[in-house]
Structure 1
Amino acid sequence: MRKLAIMLGFCLLGSTLTSCALPNAISNFVDSIEHETGGSKKIEYTDEAKKSGFLLEQPTTGAGIGKDEFLIQGSIAETKAGDQLLVRISKEGQVGEKVISIKDKKFRQPVPLFYGKGKHEVEILIPDPSKKNYYFSAARFTVENTSSIQQVPMRYNPSFYKEYGVTLEQPIAGGKIYDGKVLLQGSVEPPSKDTKPVKYLVVRADKGEDKSNYYIPVKDQKFSQWIPLRFGAGDYKVQLTVGDLHYSPVVSFEVKNSVTADLRDLLPGSGMESDNPEIISLSKQITANASSPMEKARAIYKHVATNVSYDLKKKDNYWDDGAIKTLREGKGICHDYALTTIALLRASEIPARYIGGNAGEPHAWVEAKIGDKWITMDPTWGSGYSVGKKFVKAYDPSYFNPNPASFNKTHKKSEVIY
């Protein structure tokens, strides 16, 4: 019997990794497939599927029905750590792919029906155990989609996706419309014990030239976090990256935001946990006696400047920095002062943004919008000063809404960071 295998190839288009269309020959099944019998259509398996011990538990029929998606579940006996299935979904000349992780010889994951209402042809490919990045056709069937919603295939970086054992469970496809935020949920289970454990993922959610970064903690090899779509209605590109591999996304996809309002300066961000109950409660406490947004902002500035001490031993920013961490530890560097101030301001419904720049060395401070005017504050410089290796607490109110001309002599703004 002639074996039919194909190498899985990937293209690099600019900085975006895109899965290449596989040759049509991959769909030529060997002679031993099971055909329709007795009026009931069966799932078609190849000889290679049978040799590998590949078996589907879901779906149970070769002609199924789904709405937007369908479940693939089963097992494969001949497999090794890190192996993945490749699922090809096609309709009327359109072809998309979905990667499914195999864990302990089992797999279970929903698969999108990308192309709206109608019959989708589905083909499952299994890895060739003898060759790297080679796949065999294993099974095929059809699924009738009852939904007219159009979805877009995700783009995978196969090396990183496999090396780190990433499984993105939600969302399962791109192109969907969201109401201001999107849930990213899944697991990170590196197949090799030599792979360094992953503590966090980095997410970019960009709309055109507007860019934002978020950090997602990985706990017990799982992650789950809502990512704000903060720049108003429109198309966003979302990229999921392992740790510090910022320029090599593991997976990327597009989504649409239906919320018209541009909430970039009000929504929570990484380290700016303005939606955290602890931050909301403290913000209300700090501003209880303030009668105007300007007074609220001044009270928040004073609280951060007087309750946080500069940490002369800390040299770098870390992925888990944030307002909660800074307030609990009572110390930080300019980065931490800024994150904490912004979180408290946003919790008080005062638009605020993180400013990166230079003040003799790399520095961060805050801008807040009061009415229709943006004002500046630097809670780090308002907190005190250093003498040698010692930080001296000395509250200075002059760095709240300072004279712009004087402030700009010492502070050079270079960017707004979201």
Structure 2
Amino acid sequence: MRNKITNFLLIFMLLALTACTTDQSPSATPEQEAKKDKYTTLAEEANKKDSLEKLELLPYAEEVEATLSSPKYKEFTANSTVLIKGKAKKYNSFKSDHVWIKVRSDKEGPNGREFSYYAPLKEGKFEQKIQLFNGKGNYSVKVSVPSDKAEDYYYDIASFDVENVNPEIKRDIAYTKNAFQYDLKLKNSINGYMERDGSFELEGDVADSSVEQLMVELKKESESTKIMIPVENGKFAQKIPLYYGAGVHEVQIMTPKEGSTDFFTDAAHLYVKNLSSESFEPVKYSSAYEEKGFKLETPEVGGEKADLSYKIKGSIDPKGEGASKTNVVFVQTEKDDQKAMYAIPVKNNEFDGEFFLRFGPGRYEVSLMAPDFTMTNGYMQYFEGVASFTIENTNMSDQRFTLPSRGIQSDAPEIKELAEQLTQNKKTDKEKALAVYEYVAKNVSYDVDKLNNRTFEFDDSALKTLDEKEGVCQDFAYLAIALLRASGMEAQMVTGFAGQNHAWVETKVDGRWLTMDPTWGSGYLQDNKFVPKFTMEYFDPKPAEFQKTHTKKEIEF
């Protein structure tokens, strides 16, 4: 009998203990109290001192039978965040499936003073933790549910004020309803407010398979630029440069407007504080960039500094317009109205090459261009710009007459080796020039078919001429200039008129420009056929005699 009474007492005591602790949290241990965040303690103490007034819902809440289980008070203190949780019984008539929560700070912060959340409604229930984004201070919050009559209309069901005791600036990513429509999500490491040095990684995914690209607009004060971000298999990742130096950059991420691929609408906002004072310029892309399937890996920004040369790298989507025929892309540099062209080979739809800043120190406008096969014909070659940017050359030397350029691969091993053989034991620059003139005029045949059929190619060059041993005037000039430059001599291409459009060569000898025309020095045309007959007549001719047959128009580098 005694055992039964003891068991009964134990059960009674357990039940009593359980009943006593149902509506309150167990006491924290001393260790837990020590670990508690000091701002949480500050908030709790402030709430104990204040006589908290119960939150009363606004009239529309009664119409839709809405209730809030959190927060419970009209005015209270918090540490950085507040949980908003509630439900609406009459949610079936709502014209939207999100609750709109508006947060307003009483002070202007680095990211403004307002923030909005769109909390999903699931079977009438909603839950959203809101961040008090400007740090320490007072905030007003409004909770609104959708109208039951019109889309994009909301009615307030609750309004409360909260004081944040935490001074740290934390911000969530501001997602709009468009983000939910496309199921856009950014990587967890990305916050609504971040501090970075020069750039940041934008990474995430889009569940909607119809989205092929996103648009990102980067803003700082009065400056802004737009960047297109490709989406592949629902994922995207790209480094975003913070172009405009030190300070807060606003980042707006946009998804395609429904039913359109050319227009974009706001989907998410975040802010990045750039800790670097260095500023850059955006790379500018034309519509052809996307149409032709280009992807530029280097440069990522414009305005970089370089010492005489710069590497450009990228790829071309095989499905891009004209991609299957594109075996070379072109770079044009311009400084003080002086222009130079460079050809970058394309192999397996990828290009990776170097171009030069040959006109001395200063700012260069650089254009990446693709062949335009729709316009090009036998008489003219056309190019279409796909991207442009600037480069600052820090090298003090002007090497416009000595560096490689389009069609003139003076740095190619084959060209350098041949140049060394030709000029070996030659004592003067004039002797070197003559050796080059003789080689080209004696070893390259004039291609009459190319002249008649106008079969000029985008990859015509010194190397191609050396390999095929035939060509027209520009090909003779390409090879001669490449050999001269590889020999350490200054040389340039002259274009003009000699019965028809023509090209020849000038090279610096003893402080003067020596003229040579290896094309005319190789032979002549008779009955539409090339007759090889070497002549010295067009090596360093007397200017008065040469000008009787040749009219000079332009210089090309």
Taking structure 1 as the reference length, the TM-score comes to 0.86
Correspondence 1:66 to 2:196: yes
Letter in 1 for 2:485: R
- Call closer, same or farther: CA 1:258–1:34 in 2, change over 3 Å: farther
After TM superposition, give the deviation of residue 376 of structure 1 in Å. 0.4
Correspondence 1:250 to 2:380: no
**Structure 1: tracts of 5 or more residues without a match:** 4-26
After TM superposition, give the deviation of residue 282 of structure 1 in Å. 1.1
Distance 1:241 1:199 in 2: 12
Deviates more, 1:391-400 or 1:91-100: 91-100
SS of the counterpart of 2:202? strand
Percent identical: 38
Give the one of 513, 516, 527 matched to 1:374: 513
Equivalence for 1:14: none
Question: Could you give the per-residue CA deviations for residues 194-245 of structure 1, whole angstroms, max 9, x where no partner exists?
Answer: 9865443332211121112223333222222222111111121112222127
**Structure 2: tracts of 5 or more residues without a match:** 1-94, 98-113, 120-127, 133-165, 376-381
* Structure possessing the higher relative contact order (Cα contacts under 8 Å, 6 or more residues apart): 1
- Call closer, same or farther: CA 1:273–1:197 in 2, change over 3 Å: closer
Equivalence for 1:134: 263
Equivalence for 2:207: 77
Give the one of 488, 494, 499 matched to 1:360: 499
Letter in 1 for 2:368: L
Distance 1:287 1:194 in 2: 42
Distance 1:255 1:341 in 2: 30
- Call closer, same or farther: CA 1:293–1:211 in 2, change over 3 Å: same
Deviates more, 1:245-254 or 1:176-185: 245-254
Equivalence for 1:274: 410
Give the one of 240, 256, 260 matched to 2:396: 260
Correspondence 1:31 to 2:161: no
After TM superposition, give the deviation of residue 30 of structure 1 in Å. 6.5
SS of the counterpart of 2:463? helix
Larger relative helix fraction: 2
Distance 1:131 1:42 in 2: 29
Q: What aligned pairs does 1:108-147 form with structure 2 within 5 A after superposition?
A: 108-147=237-276
Deviates more, 1:130-139 or 1:356-365: 130-139
Deviates more, 1:54-63 or 1:105-114: 54-63
After TM superposition, give the deviation of residue 392 of structure 1 in Å. 2.1
Distance 1:123 1:179 in 2: 35
Distance 1:34 1:408 in 2: 84
Distance 2:538 2:406 in 1: 25
Equivalence for 1:101: 230
Distance 1:99 1:143 in 2: 18
Question: Could you give the per-residue CA deviations for residues 297-352 of structure 1, whole angstroms, max 9, x where no partner exists?
Answer: 11111111111111111133321011111111111111100000111111111010
Letter in 1 for 2:417: S
Is this contact kept in 1: 2:317–2:323, CA < 8 A?
no
Equivalence for 1:327: 466
Say what the alpha-carbon RMSD is for the aligned residues: 2.7
Give the one of 465, 490, 509 matched to 1:351: 490
- Call closer, same or farther: CA 1:378–1:161 in 2, change over 3 Å: same
- Call closer, same or farther: CA 1:58–1:304 in 2, change over 3 Å: farther
Correspondence 1:186 to 2:314: yes
Equivalence for 1:87: 216
Letter in 2 for 1:75: D
Correspondence 1:286 to 2:422: yes
Distance 1:59 1:310 in 2: 64
Is this contact kept in 2: 1:68–1:112, CA < 8 A?
yes
Equivalence for 1:6: none
Deviates more, 1:109-118 or 1:215-224: 215-224
- Call closer, same or farther: CA 1:300–1:192 in 2, change over 3 Å: closer
Correspondence 1:45 to 2:175: yes
After TM superposition, give the deviation of residue 51 of structure 1 in Å. 2.3
* Higher radius of gyration, 1 or 2: 2
- Call closer, same or farther: CA 1:340–1:54 in 2, change over 3 Å: same
SS of the counterpart of 2:243? coil
Equivalence for 2:334: 206
Deviates more, 1:218-227 or 1:349-358: 218-227
Equivalence for 1:303: 439
Is this contact kept in 1: 2:441–2:519, CA < 8 A?
yes
Kindly tell me the number of residue pairs found equivalent between the two proteins.
393
Give the one of 198, 221, 236 matched to 2:349: 221
Deviates more, 1:173-182 or 1:401-410: 173-182
Letter in 2 for 1:67: D
After TM superposition, give the deviation of residue 381 of structure 1 in Å. 0.9
SS of the counterpart of 1:414? strand
Distance 1:55 1:331 in 2: 59
SS of the counterpart of 1:401? coil
Letter in 2 for 1:105: G
Letter in 1 for 2:281: V
Taking structure 2 as the reference length, the TM-score comes to 0.65
Is this contact kept in 2: 1:30–1:47, CA < 8 A?
no
Distance 2:245 2:199 in 1: 10
- Call closer, same or farther: CA 1:197–1:126 in 2, change over 3 Å: farther
Distance 1:242 1:58 in 2: 39
Correspondence 1:403 to 2:539: no
After TM superposition, give the deviation of residue 71 of structure 1 in Å. 2.1
- Call closer, same or farther: CA 1:34–1:348 in 2, change over 3 Å: farther
Correspondence 1:415 to 2:554: yes
Letter in 2 for 1:205: T
